[in-house]
Amino acid sequence: MLKASLGDLTTKERLLQALREARAQAEEGLAEGRAIARSLLEAGALDHPGRIHVVAVMYGFVFSYFETMARWARWAEEEVGSWPDTSRSDDLDRTLGVFRRALARSARVLPRPPADQPADPSRTTLGQPWARHRVGVRPP
């Protein structure tokens, strides 16, 4: 993932290779997760009767993480594959569409702030690293 995040500093082929590696890692995690689920279902959870509920909660997170990673890697491979190189966006509207879709999805998932408290990502701990990326904002 680190290699992919530095994709503009390398060649298109190296970035694609990093994405293929991320996809392979995700697919390996999914295969292992399916084997674990089958094993637990076949055993009828007899091996872990006192912990199966906790295992299920953690399994749900880990499996969904690998599903998300696999979907993202497949999409990213297709996206990067359409680029002429890694120097800059060849279609700024398509690029900005990634951020628009993310905001639309998050609006369906995250609760809205109270009307008298507009969301300001620069006022949150999570927003701080991103503050320098806003247009017209310089890092301190």
pLDDT bin (cut points 50, 70, 90) of residue 47 is low
**Looking at residue 132, what is its pLDDT?**
47
pLDDT tens-place string over residues 68-88: 999 999 999 999 999 999 998
- pTM of this prediction? 0.72
Say if 93 falls within a structural domain: yes
Mean pLDDT of 81-110: 90
Whether residue 119 is contained in a domain is answered as no
Asked if the structure places residue 131 within a domain, the reply is: no
- The whole domain housing 16 covers 2-111
Q: How many domains does the chain fold into?
A: 1
- Other C-beta atoms lying within 10 Å of the C-beta of residue 102: 10
Distance CA 1, CA 35 (A): 25
